[in-house]
Amino acid sequence: MSDSGKRRPRLVADKRYGGSKGPKRPARSGGGSGSGGGKGRGKVARKAPPRKTARKAAPRRRSPAKRRNPVVNFFLSIFGWIFGLIWRVLWRLCAVTAALVILAAAISGLTMPPLEDLYDGRVRGSVTLLDDSGEVYAWRGDQFGGMVSAETVSPHLKNAIVATEDKRFYRHLGVSPRGIASAIRINLREGRGPLSGNGGSTITQQTAKLLCFGQSYDPTVWDSEAAYEADCRASTLARKAREAIYAVGMEMRYTKDDILTLYMNRAYLGEGTRGFEAASQRYFGKSAANVTPAEAAMLAGLLKAPTRYAPTNNLQRSRDRASVIVRLMEDQGYLSHAAAEDAIANPAQLSQKAQEQSGGYFADWIMSSAPDFLTSKTTADVMLTTTLDQRIQSAAEEAVKWVFEEKVREGSNAQAAVVVMSADGAVRAMVGGRDVTGGGVFNRATQALRQTGSSFKPFVYATALELGYHYNDVVDDAPLTIDIPGSGPWSPENYDHQFRGPVTLEEALMKSLNIPAVRVATEVGLENVRKIASDFGIQSDLAAGPALALGASESTLVEMVGAYAGILNGGSSVTPYGLKEVRLQGDAEPLMGSDGGIGERVIREEAARELIYMMRQVVTQGTGGRAGLADREIAGKTGTTQAARDAWFVGFSADYVAGVWMGYDDNTPLTGVTGSGLPAEIFHEVMTRVHDGLPVHELPMLHPAPEPARNLPGAPSQGSGQRLDNVIERALKDIFGLN
């Protein structure tokens, strides 16, 4: 049967050997017969075709377009050789530099002192000022609140510092190339130099700078502490390199938490505070271990610009900065979203003491009156106990603010000063200008020498009373001309240009008449008036001529109030003082005590009582009516200088003496202001607040029975002038030793 057109079935052998792919069976011998000599029914083996010999592939030829120019090849080979040479030199140079940096860092690390020697690196000590009851009200110098560590501070504060200053702090080796590159990019983008502005410094580098690379302040090397600190903060390439080496050395010497501890204790945080413990106590009245996230963020925000972001300087600006830091803490996983929202919704609040900011002028006065080696130049921590009464200080500040807001026209540059004092000279409050917080500025209560005007007149009458005159003696208020050698004739006038004829001393003072004051001063002797005023504490150069009686001399407000205190205490001089004692922090025994208080007697107590009575009439019936209080007796005297350049009211109750001055710093005349106006109103507002809640006491003054009036020389004669002349002559011999 023919199998043409049909597929041959697969043989068993084919199946065994895998079909055509299996091994070939050997061809049978013989003429193609089958096995056993059959007739050749099997197939004859096919002859294998001859193998093809592999032809060797010819090399490909580059197309003419891709062939390199021999000149190009030559230069490329030169450049390649140069680049290779540079690379070989560069990496070896980098390796050597790195080895030298590591060696220098290691040497720095080995020479660094023990950690505990570095916590308090202040050049100056601190001055803490306490009020009369022992409460802190001001700080000066560099305040160090005590050592804190990364383990003892609030975790929120630690996280806020790291989040703000160096988020990779725990991962780098002291220097962060990524941070430096980022800072340079920001500086260039904002148009600054690469090293100006953001420095990209790590916390370790900042600590190295705070330590000034281990170099202490030496007054023989630097002109001042400020020059030393400026040199430590310089941002030159050389300083940056030194900073990096020292930072790496710190990483070798100390642990990360050790470095963070140093940073937290050395950083300046505004208001004279060094370290986070001092800052936390200053702003929040609590330890750095107990601050909340909002408080921690505000403290960490001070690191960027301590003075600008100090909450006592601008609370809202400080809170805005704290909000940015809270968000950084949230982004870096230190705060949950809810905690961050709560911190922003409930920002940090200043402590009551930090809010008050009172007594700045007083504190500066104390600092200037105590020895500088215990104040501005102290290297120890000093405690100054003062006479300040914070309740009275607040009263004075509130009164000045109220009067200027309610009574003074907007835009006025007029200034005011207030001093409140006890009768023994202890200063209880001081305001040196309209900026009642003061501190570091011109103090008009202690530094401004101004003409006193009619506020000087009580010392004229004090002299007369000491010499035997009385409140009801009569003097003539009539035209007067005095020939002054070298100046010619001088004719004083009253403020209203009127003459009243015979008036008592009481009326002359009550109405602040000028001509009677000049008559009395010339009669009792100008030298005697100068001596009485000087003995009462007016130490300024007193005028030599008869204009002395009208307050032509200059004085400070604190001197005038001190002199009036001598009148109140019965006629004894006082030296105004604010410092009670000085001691080193931690010591029980004081280094020094007060150098003020009551001194020698100036006038008799009877004369002082009579003078207080006359000054009481100034307030009840005379020019000082606006100064009076409804519930207690007030005595005092107004004063206005020529052209109204200065306006005064100085007076007292039975408990306190107070003085007010108003004027312009450049001597511009006041408009519509006399001592009987705004100064008297400020006095009233101050004393109203000072005496709020205090028991009422009577003034130590004369309560006269009606007596017949007597004449002074120069008044119409009533037959007693000669007798008074004898009194004056006898008193001059007894009191002043005159012949």
Dump the DSSP string for 598-611.
EEEE-S-HHHHHHH
Q: Is residue 253 part of a domain?
A: yes
**Residues near 524 by Cβ (< 8 Å), separated by ≥ 6?**
460, 463, 464, 467, 469, 728
* 403-413 average pLDDT score: 90
pLDDT single digits (tens) 476-489 = 999 999 988 888 89
Residue 5 backbone zone (phi > 0: left; psi -120 to 50: alpha; other: beta): left
CATH number of the domain encompassing residue 450: 3.40.710.10
Residues 395/689, Cβ–Cβ less than 8 Å? yes
Q: Is the pLDDT of residue 727 over 50?
A: no
pLDDT confidence of residue 530: 95
- Token pair of 725 as six digits: 């002349």
**Residues near 204 by Cβ (< 8 Å), separated by ≥ 6?**
166, 169, 172, 174, 175, 247, 250, 251, 259
pLDDT confidence of residue 720: 38
**Final residue of a structural domain among 335, 356, 377:** 356
Same domain? For 318 and 463 the reply is: no
Residues 422/428, Cβ–Cβ less than 8 Å? yes
Q: Is residue 185 part of a domain?
A: yes
Q: Is residue 527 part of a domain?
A: yes
Q: pLDDT over 90 for what percent of the chain?
A: 52
pLDDT single digits (tens) 242-255 = 888 888 888 888 99
Q: Is the pLDDT of residue 47 over 60?
A: no
pLDDT confidence of residue 718: 37
State how far the Cα of 573 lies from the Cα of 559, in Å rounded to an integer. 11
Kind and range of the H or E element at 96?
Answer: helix 70-111
Residues 595/387, Cβ–Cβ less than 8 Å? no
**Residues near 522 by Cβ (< 8 Å), separated by ≥ 6?**
482, 546, 549
- Token pair of 393 as six digits: 């200080």
pLDDT confidence of residue 370: 84
Q: Is the pLDDT of residue 13 over 50?
A: no
Q: Is the pLDDT of residue 256 over 50?
A: yes
Same domain? For 584 and 484 the reply is: yes
Same domain? For 327 and 224 the reply is: yes
Q: Is residue 44 part of a domain?
A: no
End-to-end, the C-alpha distance of the chain in Å comes to 183
Tell me the three state secondary structure of residue 34: coil
- Token pair of 679 as six digits: 């100064």
Same domain? For 285 and 429 the reply is: no
Domain tally for the chain? 2
Same domain? For 349 and 487 the reply is: no
* 426-448 average pLDDT score: 87
Please indicate, yes or no, whether the overall pTM of this predicted structure exceeds 0.75: no
pLDDT single digits (tens) 136-195 = 888 887 777 778 899 999 999 999 999 999 999 999 888 887 776 776 777 677 666 665
Out of 182-196, 495-509, 520-534, 580-594, which region has the weakest mean confidence (pLDDT)? 182-196
Same domain? For 340 and 471 the reply is: no
Highest mean pLDDT of the ranges 32-46, 684-698, 709-723? 684-698
Out of 202-216, 440-454, 461-475, which region has the weakest mean confidence (pLDDT)? 202-216
pLDDT confidence of residue 735: 47
Q: Is residue 589 part of a domain?
A: yes
Taking the CB of residue 455, how many other CB atoms lie within 10 A of it? 31
pLDDT confidence of residue 217: 73
Residue carrying structure tokens 């009164």: 399
Say which residue, 543 or 575, is predicted with more confidence: 575
Same domain? For 428 and 340 the reply is: no
CATH number of the domain encompassing residue 199: 1.10.3810.10
Same domain? For 428 and 351 the reply is: no
Same domain? For 254 and 340 the reply is: yes
Q: Is residue 587 part of a domain?
A: yes
Q: Is the pLDDT of residue 5 over 60?
A: no
pLDDT confidence of residue 23: 45
pLDDT confidence of residue 51: 55
Say which residue, 321 or 197, is predicted with more confidence: 321
Out of 38-52, 369-383, 605-619, which region has the weakest mean confidence (pLDDT)? 38-52
State how far the Cα of 468 lies from the Cα of 727, in Å rounded to an integer. 6
pLDDT single digits (tens) 93-120 = 878 877 877 887 778 777 788 877 777 7
Same domain? For 345 and 480 the reply is: no
Burial class from Cβ neighbours inside 10 Å (0-12, 13-18, 19+) for residue 312 reads middle
- Token pair of 326 as six digits: 């809270």
Cα angle 37, 40, 44 (rounded to 5 degrees) comes to: 120
Report the candidate in 457, 437, 461 with the shortest Cα–Cα distance to residue 650: 457
Say which residue, 9 or 283, is predicted with more confidence: 283
Same domain? For 259 and 336 the reply is: yes
Same domain? For 289 and 151 the reply is: yes
pLDDT single digits (tens) 52-93 = 555 555 555 555 545 667 877 877 888 888 888 888 888 888
* Structure confidence at residue 241 as a pLDDT band (50, 70, 90): confident
pLDDT confidence of residue 586: 82
Report the candidate in 422, 729, 436 with the shortest Cα–Cα distance to residue 561: 422
pLDDT confidence of residue 554: 94
* Structure confidence at residue 707 as a pLDDT band (50, 70, 90): low
Parallel, antiparallel, or unpaired: how do β-strands 473-477 and 710-711 relate?
parallel
Residues 474/705, Cβ–Cβ less than 8 Å? no
Per-residue three-class SS string for 265-308: HHCECCCCEECHHHHHHHHHCCCHHHCCHHHHHHHHHCCCCCCC
Q: Is the pLDDT of residue 1 over 50?
A: no
Q: Taking all residues of the chain, what is their mean pLDDT, rounded to a whole number?
A: 84
Q: Is residue 318 part of a domain?
A: yes
State how far the Cα of 724 lies from the Cα of 728, in Å rounded to an integer. 6
Tell me the three state secondary structure of residue 446: coil
pLDDT single digits (tens) 193-205 = 665 555 568 999 8
Residues 184/199, Cβ–Cβ less than 8 Å? no
pLDDT confidence of residue 11: 45
- Token pair of 120 as six digits: 């308090």
Q: Is the pLDDT of residue 334 over 60?
A: yes
pLDDT single digits (tens) 361-390 = 999 999 988 888 888 788 788 999 999 999
pLDDT confidence of residue 376: 79
Q: C-alpha 260: how far from its chain's center?
A: 25
**Final residue of a structural domain among 333, 356, 379:** 356
Amino acid (1-letter code) at residue 322 = A
pLDDT confidence of residue 219: 74
Q: Is residue 180 part of a domain?
A: yes
Provide the residue range defining the domain that includes 633. 421-711
Per-residue three-class SS string for 516-568: HHHHHHHHHCHHHHHHHHHHCCCCCCCCCCHHHHHCCCEECHHHHHHHHHHHH
